[in-house]
Structure formats: C-alpha cells, structure tokens
C-alpha cells in the first residue's frame, strides 16, 4: 500500500526551492512584460539582470519574495498535495498507469492554478514593477499589502485576473513537470542507461537526472501560456486574452510566445531539481519518522 504524505509537504518543498531561484523568476517575468517595438532587438537575460542591478541593486532581484512564498504555499501546495493524494488512491491496488497519472496531474494542476491565482497576480506585479514608469508602479510593500490593495482598487473580481490562462498554464506545468518527472523516474528505473550500461537506483542521482529532463520539458511546453499569463496579470486595464495575444503577435511576431525562455529554463531547471530533491528528502524523512 502506498505511503500517505501530509498535504502540505509539497508546498514546503516548493517554497524551499523558490527561495533559491527567485532572482531567476524575477528576470523571467521582467523579460516577458517588457513591451518590445516590432523589429527592435529584444533585451537579453544578462541585460535585464544588469539593468536591475544598476537601477536598484541586488535586493531588486528578490523583489516579490513574499508573494513567491505565498504562491508556493497556495498553488504548489494544492497541485502537489492533490497529485500525491490522487496517486496514492490510484496506487491502492498496485502501480497506477501512466494515463491515470496524467489525468491526476491535470486535475491537480487545475486546482492549484485556481488556488494560487491571487498570489500569482501579486507576484507578477511585484517582480515586474521595475520595468514600469515610476508613476505607474504598484509599489506593494509585501504580498499581503498587495492583496489588500488589489481588492480595494479592482474589487474581488480583480483576484480572478488571468484566471483562465493561469489555470491552463498550471495544468500544463503539472503535467509537463510533475507528470513527466514520475514518467522519467519510472523509465530510468526500468532499464539501464545506454552505452555505459548503468542501472540507476532510487536515490539522489536518479532524482537529479529525472528532474533535469522534467525541467526542460516543462519550460518548453509552458512558455506560451506563461508569457500571456504574465502580460495579463501585469496589466491593470481590462485587456482580454485575445487582445493581448493579437497585439503581441502584431507588434512582436510569433516569437513573443517564447520570450523569456532562457531565464525561464535557467530558473525552472534548477527549481525543478531543487523541488524534487527537497520533496523526495522530505517524503523520505516523513516515512522514516512514521515507520522507523
């Protein structure tokens, strides 16, 4: 019978990982929300980081950390906790099939996207503030202050800004990150690595390799939804999904859908590795505590 883990365990692991990779998340959002002129050269990852350091120093790369932690303890807590609960249920009579796990990852991702949407809005706004004119900045002092300000200025409906895109993105992320991690982990355990003929065991090396594959896969699959989500959430106007998509395609071309892919990969790859290394460690520690 599968071991049952606390629902909050994934949220703690995700918060630990996010604390390490937050500067990369900040850089990704700033790249995604800068309005480029058609035909102009897009700023590079290094240029964005340099501009941030020149304008506000190193602390600017940790702007919105409180929102990031709030997001992990809502979005990631729900998506990982729900997925683990569904996986445990499906595995009661043996190993769950891949299609069943994919369905579980989709459902858990959707729930996580809904739960974490308010924190996502605050995170995007806090991390992209530096790219705005001083008089147009939100200037939230922390995540809770941001939520209060958002509700005061835009009403409760403001908490649902970008909800559809964010939920789609969350589903894609859970399937491509969590679902693919389980898939790669299972496949690597089933057969030896070609050429060197080495059989991996369920240890940190396996977790590192499987999470690297999952991070690369997730970055590519989620990039289009991630870019549009960031632009919708960064806006305080009534811009719709179709308006943002049409305007961005007209001004920047199809490549805008993968804008910020490099910092997204540089952020998501180590974030995915840290997430699953921390998660596997916490699960192992919990299991050893319950069943010493």
How does DSSP assign 221-253, residue by residue? HHHHHHHHHHHHHH--S---HHHHHHHHHHHH-
How is the chain split into domains, by residue range?
9-286
Q: What is the pLDDT of residue 292?
A: 58
- Alpha-carbon distance of 86 to 7, in angstroms, equals 11
Q: What is the pLDDT of residue 82?
A: 95
- Alpha-carbon distance of 185 to 187, in angstroms, equals 6
Q: With contact defined as beta carbons under 8 Å apart, do 122 and 64 qualify?
A: yes
Q: For the chain, give percent helix, strand, coil, nearest 5.
A: 80, 0, 20
Q: What is the pLDDT of residue 41?
A: 61
Q: What is the pLDDT of residues 157-175, one digit of tens each?
A: 889 988 988 898 899 999 9
- Helix or strand or coil: residue 87? helix
Q: Which residues of the chain have pLDDT under 70?
A: 1-3, 32, 34-45, 52, 55-56, 93-94, 194-197, 236-238, 291-292
User: Whole-prediction pTM value?
Assistant: 0.78
Other Cβ atoms within 10 Å of 242 Cβ, number = 8
- Alpha-carbon distance of 251 to 230, in angstroms, equals 17
Architecture field, domain 9-286: Alpha/alpha barrel (1.50)
Q: Cα angle vertex 215, ends 208, 209, to 5°?
A: 20
Q: What is the pLDDT of residue 151?
A: 93
End-to-end, the C-alpha distance of the chain in Å comes to: 17
């Amino acid at each position: 019978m599968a071991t049952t883990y606390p629902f909050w365990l994934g949220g703690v692991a995700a918060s630990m990982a996010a604390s390490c990779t937050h500067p990369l998340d900040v850089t990704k959002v700033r790249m995604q929300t800068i309005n480029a002129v058609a035909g102009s050269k897009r700023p590079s990852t290094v240029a964005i980081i340099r501009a941030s350091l020149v304008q506000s120093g190193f602390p600017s790369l940790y702007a919105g950390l409180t929102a990031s932690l709030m997001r992990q303890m809502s979005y990631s807590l729900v998506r990982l906790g729900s997925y683990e609960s569904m996986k445990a249920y499906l595995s009661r009579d043996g190993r769950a099939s891949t299609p069943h796990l994919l369905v579980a990852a989709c459902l858990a991702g959707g729930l996580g996207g809904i739960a974490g949407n308010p924190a996502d809005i605050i995170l995007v706004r806090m991390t992209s503030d530096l790219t705005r004119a001083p008089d147009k900045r939100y200037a939230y002092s922390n995540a809770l202050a941001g939520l209060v300000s958002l509700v005061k200025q835009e009403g409760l409906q403001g908490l649902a800004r970008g909800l559809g895109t964010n939920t789609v993105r969350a589903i894609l992320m859970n399937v491509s990150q969590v679902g693919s991690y389980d898939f790669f982990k299972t496949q690597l355990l089933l057969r030896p690595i070609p050429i060197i003929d080495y059989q991996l065991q369920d240890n940190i090396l396996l977790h590192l390799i499987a999470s690297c594959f999952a991070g690369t896969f997730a970055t590519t699959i989620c990039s289009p939804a991630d870019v549009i989500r960031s632009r919708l959430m960064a806006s305080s106007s009534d811009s719709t999904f179709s308006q943002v998509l049409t305007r961005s395609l007209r001004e920047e071309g199809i490549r805008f859908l993968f804008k910020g892919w490099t910092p997204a990969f540089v952020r998501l790859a180590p974030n995915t590795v840290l997430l699953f290394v921390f998660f596997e460690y916490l699960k192992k520690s919990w299991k050893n505590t319950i069943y010493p």
